[in-house]
Amino acid sequence: MTGTTASLPRQGQDIPETVAALRASFDAGVTRPTAWRRRQLTALRSLLRDHTSAIEEALYDDLRKGRTESHLTEIGGVLAENEHALRHLDGWTRPRRAAVPLNMKPATARIHPEPLGVCLIIAPWNYPLTLTLNPLIGALSAGNAAVVKPSELAPATSALLADLLPRYLEAVAVIEGAVEETTQLLAQRFDHIFYTGNGTVGRIVAGAAAKSLTPVTLELGGKSPVFIDETADMIVTARRLAWGKFTNAGQTCVAPDYVLVTQAARDRLLAALPGVITEMFGPDPRTSPDYGRIVNDRHFRRLTELMAEGNLLVGDVCDAAERYIAPTVLTDVPPGSPVMSQEIFGPILPILTVRDVHEAVDFINARDKPLSLYAFTRDTTARRALLERTSSGGLVYNAPMIHLGVPNLPFGGVGESGMGAYHGKASFDTFSHRKPVLSKPTRPDTLRLIYAPHTSRSFAL
């Protein structure tokens, strides 16, 4: 555990005072040395290891996440991101030489990454550990101070982070709370705001940031489509689809939202899905230790209303008392139905039939740019059509969601699904300014060629 160099106000204290204390630490140069950054990442690793059981309990309390799922999608992922940052920190922080054109020589040019200052990280509830700590790893690697605002809808994880982070990390403050506290935070001056959540609040964050021209990263959501055709390996496709959709009871930003299956593949997909769902969660998913619950009553009501249209293939069992919704698959869903007009963010999988990949491309392009696009096909023409004729935050062939586990791939949205990206080096870049530094000797004074009075020789430059 590390000591605290910033004299931060205790939790629950004044927000402007907290931000001012962090800024004082940053201005004093506390966070700049690579050794300081390394110490923070090492301390974060210790935090995760020392308090694994408490984290598992908090995730269970908030979302009924099973222990294995918590490791796969939260604790393990954050540890991996942290190790990646530790391994590459020296390389990332090193200034890069840039080539100088002949007419500028003699001179040396470098790109010098520098921290931005005090960053604000606003996190959502669905992966309350990962989506708070992964951006923080980027902010710390880049040498920033940070305020972290976990989601009030995951109160157990929020309270745990508020307790643990200040005990392990220097120049990091946690402000718990909801709209009121976030609004107060957004009234402060930050050097970067990193927001993950829905687009409505994303607009509020971007609007507040615009007042002080603060740069923002917006990690938003949307409807991530899945294209499946007759060349797909159907049993593996069904398994991966069910895993992607029903993990965390569908409350994943990159979960497959809906399926566009070709007519020729439809029957085989529908035949495979019920069996793989039972394989994963048993005949009664309510009793499965691996199946989660809906975060709150509002989302539970919203989701049950979305089941009104389409034919039921699997599911339709709900229990308001437990906020349980069984894995549900709907077929022949009208494209204009409510389940197709908003991000589902729950365990309901609508399946629509298309003629071919071209109809799928048109369908996708008629809607907002998704956060992820998934395609299960061996057909290279179909793969190329999806790659070249659609735009999405990411594109994965033959598996949903796993691109998040590749730290060398920047993760982020495009259009309505967000702006900016992070993970691995992309996180470091997001929280850094790439400062160009040019140094030119005074002798020989080659710039004489461009001083007035200008002659025809000036054109030679």
The binding track of 362-401 with respect to ligand NAD, each residue x by CB under 6 A or -, is ---------x------------------------------
* Phi (first) and psi of residue 226, to 5 degrees: -125, 125
Contact between 36 and 90 (Cβ < 8 Å):
no
Q: How far apart are CA 182 and CA 195, in angstroms?
A: 11
Considering the complex, state which of residue 291 and residue 345 has its C-beta at the smaller distance from ligand NAD. Answer: 345
- Annotated catalytic, 219? yes
Q: How far is the CB of 277 from ligand NAD (least distance, A)?
A: 23
Pick out residues in 235-274 that bind ligand NAD (CB under 6 A).
Answer: 253
Q: Which region among 38-46, 219-227, 236-244, 380-388 touches ligand NAD (by CB under 6 A)?
A: 219-227
Half-sphere exposure of 302 (CA within 13 A, CB side): 14
* Phi (first) and psi of residue 304, to 5 degrees: -65, -30
If one asks whether residue 56 binds ligand NAD (CB under 6 A), the answer comes out as no
SS3 category, 330: strand
**Following DSSP, what letter does each residue of 142-204 receive, concatenated?**
TT-EEEEE--TTSHHHHHHHHHHHHHH-SSEEE---SHHHHHHHHTS--SEEEEES-HHHHHH
The binding track of 130-149 with respect to ligand NAD, each residue x by CB under 6 A or -, is -x-----------------x
The structure tokens listed for 334 are 């009208």
Q: Which candidate in 74, 170, 219, 343 is catalytic?
A: 219
The binding track of 406-445 with respect to ligand NAD, each residue x by CB under 6 A or -, is -------x----x---------------------------
Q: How far is the CB of 417 from ligand NAD (least distance, A)?
A: 7
CA-angle at 397, arms to 396 and 398, nearest 5°: 120
Please give the C-alpha separations between residue 226 and each of 190, 257, 316, in angstroms, as whole numbers: 38, 8, 22
Considering the complex, state which of residue 141 and residue 151 has its C-beta at the smaller distance from ligand NAD. Answer: 151
Considering the complex, state which of residue 113 and residue 250 has its C-beta at the smaller distance from ligand NAD. Answer: 250
Q: Around Cβ 351, how many Cβ atoms within 10 Å?
A: 23
Binding ligand NAD (rule: CB under 6 A), the pick from 26, 324, 345, 431 is 345
Interface with ligand NAD (CB under 6 A): 122-126, 131, 149, 151-153, 178-179, 182-183, 196-198, 201, 204, 219-221, 253, 343, 345, 371, 413, 418
Q: Which residues are catalytic?
A: 219
